[in-house]
Chain A
Amino acid sequence: MSAIDASATPSPAVSEAPARPATGLSATLGHARYVVTENPVTGFAFALFAVILLAAILGPALAPYDPLASDTAAALQPPSAAHWFGTDQVGRDIFSRVLVATRLDLVIAVSSVALVFALGGFAGICAGFYGGWTDRLISRVSDTIMAFPLFVLAMGIVAALGNTVTNIVIATAIVNFPLYQRIARAEANVRRDAGFVQAARLTGNSEMRILLCQILPNIMPIMAVQMSLTMGYAILNAAGLSFIGLGVKPPTPEWGIMVAEGAGYIISGEWWIALFPGLALMISVFCFNLLGDGLRDIIDPQRRT
């Protein structure tokens, strides 16, 4: 954005020596503080993230009811003081279930993103940096995955590997692999012959060392933004799979499956069963997307002085 502006119109005089000789960490923190305060939406996203994190950690302790205990006498009650989000068809407290489900949904998303970050990121950097056969082989794997509509492939993988939470994590990681691989590849590729990499070659760094010490630190921030953005997608993907009956099995509380259970009651007017888990799902995905945009601002060196 700013780079484009700068090329379109010559930027106004930039002082020769910046006044603030801030060092790495404090500068980053200062800039982060600036971004959060300048853009209230990003600040809001960070606050929301903290709430979700707390719910994931403390959820089971905070839940007013046992999320699995049914109480047929209290079935299908609308939201009330006793049951904030109402009760479902077998009388389970929806608020407790939504709260407890946070951990499972977050764990699925975090572990799949961590997995794909490690695998896809590494494969992509190698492909971009070494080029040649390494690149062709890795890119071919990505192309093949990309030849499938991603959700459909995830369905196929979970169906084939077996209907478990672990396989949901694996499937989500696999379908996201091309995204990470391609971003890392592109970033590594433009830096492969950058001046500072050539300079590092001249100073006797081995190729592996250049990859780890010169290229990787420059790519990490971009990958971090990507992680936050795919986190939202990973949650959606996992919830979508359990919505069609893959992965998490009832009665385990999970947002996708709860929406699926509640969907059947919509037509008869019991809207709360599906609404609240759906909202929880939506809010957490929304939070990760906002967070990703905010992180992008923080790491963008063009916006940093």
Chain B
Amino acid sequence: MTALLDVKALTVEFATRRGTVQAVKTVDLEVAKGETVGIVGESGSGKSVTSYAVMRILDRAGRIAGGSVAFSGLDLKGATEAQMTDIRGREISMIFQNPRMALNPIRKVGRQIEDVLRRHAQAGSMDARAKAIEMLEQVKIARPEERYHAYPFELSGGMCQRIVIALALACRPQLLIADEPTTGLDVTTQKAVMDLVTELTRARGMSTILITHDLGLAAAYCDKVVVMKKGEVVETAAARDVFAAPKHDYTQKLMCATPRPGSTLRGLLPAEVAAAPNPPAAVSGEVLLKVQNLVKEYPRQGVTKSGAQMFGRGAAQEPEKPFRAVDGISFEIRRGESLGLVGESGCGKSTTSMMVMRLLDPTSGNITLGGDDIGAIQAKSFASSPHRRRIQMVFQDPTDSLNPRFTASRAIADPLMRMGALKGAGAVRARCEQLANLVGLPLDLLDRFPHQMSGGQKARVGIARAIALDPELVILDEPTAALDVSVQAVVLNLLDDLKAKLGMSYLFVSHDLHVVRLLCDRVIVMRQGAIVEQGSSQDVLEAPKADYTRELISAIPHPPG
């Protein structure tokens, strides 16, 4: 079988301020006709750059420094730009992550498909529109005639990704490169999009390159997997071999760091660093947090900034029914327990956590912490309440949650100086170092600024800050969503250790059921502001009662074994 795409010793360089950086080093890649090849790697592994080099759409600073790229016997590296524009879209096409941004925001989606069809002479002025609508139909967009006239901002993320797929497949190319096509989409949408891609490419006998950070996704959809690390290929093998018996250390590490059914927290870490598992934390019967009939409503339309609002009050349209982001939910967290709050975007889980955190005032309902009615205190004045120190939070994006102008020690010291009883700079510093040791942050990093630290290090700073005042309840808002899986494994273990050591309770907000299961005793599944199902993590994952939970679980791709 001759390869459709044959990449040999590809090297890509970027000119940066600190000199030339090799983003891709002597990479070999073969894609046979009809084959689906996954390129898997963590951020900075050069997986996307490889595909951009194949398409020759590297930005100005990047250039192919060596190697060869052959497509159906044609030398893509040496091809002229005119030849390349003929090949792009007709022979090889691409779909991208963040589909909404991948479409021209001010051109009707149908017209965008037409542009590609007409460019590659697949349609003339007479039949372009019909063909575009036919493509919309093929990617299973309901009411295609109507959607033809839609602008990207009028469509959902999943719908936009279908349009991008229609765009990519319109001219029946032989090879499709999908660059993180489902990142940022909800799991159920993710599955629908991937199934659609598979169905369409199979039907056309196309080859596919799937670029992803998610081993599970690669396992579920690929014939062959190429694992990349820091610009180099570390392992290439048939998908089932890679997952059954990963040869390279890095692949093994990646494999075990990926949460899947049956994996344990300690199992995520490489064998040599994993300590004995924590004994199950003693969950006392005492209720720490009690939430009753919590409701948060928002007005239908965002507050408009127009002057009309300011002067011509009442002249506006009739009041519509407010939107209920959180629709009367109740739950409890006991001392020493960790509770997972799971749902897709827009289900109200973040709004709930912000209200429990007392950063947002609920429309109605009660929140009590250890018997104290903290829901009655306004969010605005909660900062000066003695209860403030009892609930803390670890944020989703470690970069965003650190002030770029504060050093790590200043960030950790902030709660100590504001609410701690410590006197003197020496005592604060000593406590900072103690906390740094606790979260495994090297002491010499304490004087660094956020931009001088890695994602994992920043996450540790955020955790140290949250536990500085020995809070009773810590809210974890997708604390690992922005991290690579190997870092995620370490951070999850750290959180579990800290809980055992310090006896805190966790409210863990996440979209990923498998991650939640590892850390939480109980799980709540939310949808459209309401609780769909709750129970022990094991019960909910292994014997889900609600259809929605079942759908969620089945949509998560995971590596076999």
Contact = CB atoms under 8 A, between A and B. Distances in A.
Direct contact of A and B (CB under 8 A): yes
Interface of A: 5, 8-14, 16-18, 20-24, 136, 139-140, 143, 194-196, 198-207, 214, 217-218, 301, 303-305
7 contacts: A20-B452, A140-B307, A195-B396, A199-B465, A200-B403, A205-B414, A301-B404
Interface in B29-71: 43-49, 52, 58-59, 61-62
B188 to A, nearest CB: 26
B503 interface: no
A203 B383 CA distance: 7
B59 A17 contact: no
B380 interface: yes
Going nearest first, the 10 A-B pairs with the smallest beta carbon separation are A195-B401, A12-B23, A203-B415, A195-B400, A13-B44, A204-B418, A204-B419, A196-B403, A12-B21, A10-B48
B49 A12 contact: yes
B429 interface: no
B508 interface: no
Given A199-B395, A218-B405, A301-B404, A12 B16 contact: yes
B18 A203 contact: no
A202 B59 contact: no
B447 A199 contact: no
Contact of A305 (B17, B396, B402, B462): B17
B230 interface: yes
Given A203-B415, A204-B388, A21 B380 contact: no
A205 B418 contact: yes
B451 interface: yes
Contacts of B52: 9
A14 B444 CA distance: 20
Nearest to A21: B448
B44 A14 contact: yes
A124 B447 CA distance: 32
A254 B57 CA distance: 55
A206 B383 contact: yes
Interface of B: 14, 16-18, 21-23, 43-49, 52, 58-59, 61-62, 230-231, 305, 307, 310, 357, 359, 380, 383-384, 388-389, 391-393, 395-397, 399-407, 411, 414-415, 418-419, 444-445, 447-449, 451-454, 457, 462, 465-466, 468-469
Contacts of A214: 403
Contacts of B17: 303, 305
Counting chain B CB atoms within 10 Å of each CB, the highest count among A21, A198, A203, A205 belongs to A203
A8 B395 CA distance: 26
Contacts of B419: 203-204
Contacts, number: 130
Given A9-B62, A13-B230, A304 B451 contact: yes
Given A17-B453, A139-B305, 7 more contacts: A10-B48, A12-B22, A196-B400, A196-B401, A196-B411, A203-B418, A217-B403
Contacts of B23: 10-13
A200 B417 CA distance: 12
Nearest to B45: A13
A204 B389 contact: yes
Nearest to B49: A10
A207 B379 CA distance: 11
A23 B383 contact: no
A13 B454 contact: no
Contact of B384 (A8, A9, A199, A206): A206
A21 B405 contact: no
A12 to B, nearest CB: 4
A17 B452 CA distance: 7
Given A12-B44, A13-B44, A195-B396, A203 B307 contact: no
A7 to B, nearest CB: 8
Contacts of B407: 23-24
A143 B405 contact: no
Contacts of A18: 452
Nearest to B101: A7
B450 to A, nearest CB: 9
Contacts of B231: 12-13
A199 B22 contact: no
A305 B465 CA distance: 25
Contacts of A217: 403, 405
B348 to A, nearest CB: 17
A21 B462 CA distance: 19
Given A198-B395, A207-B383, A301-B404, A136 B310 contact: yes
Nearest to A206: B383
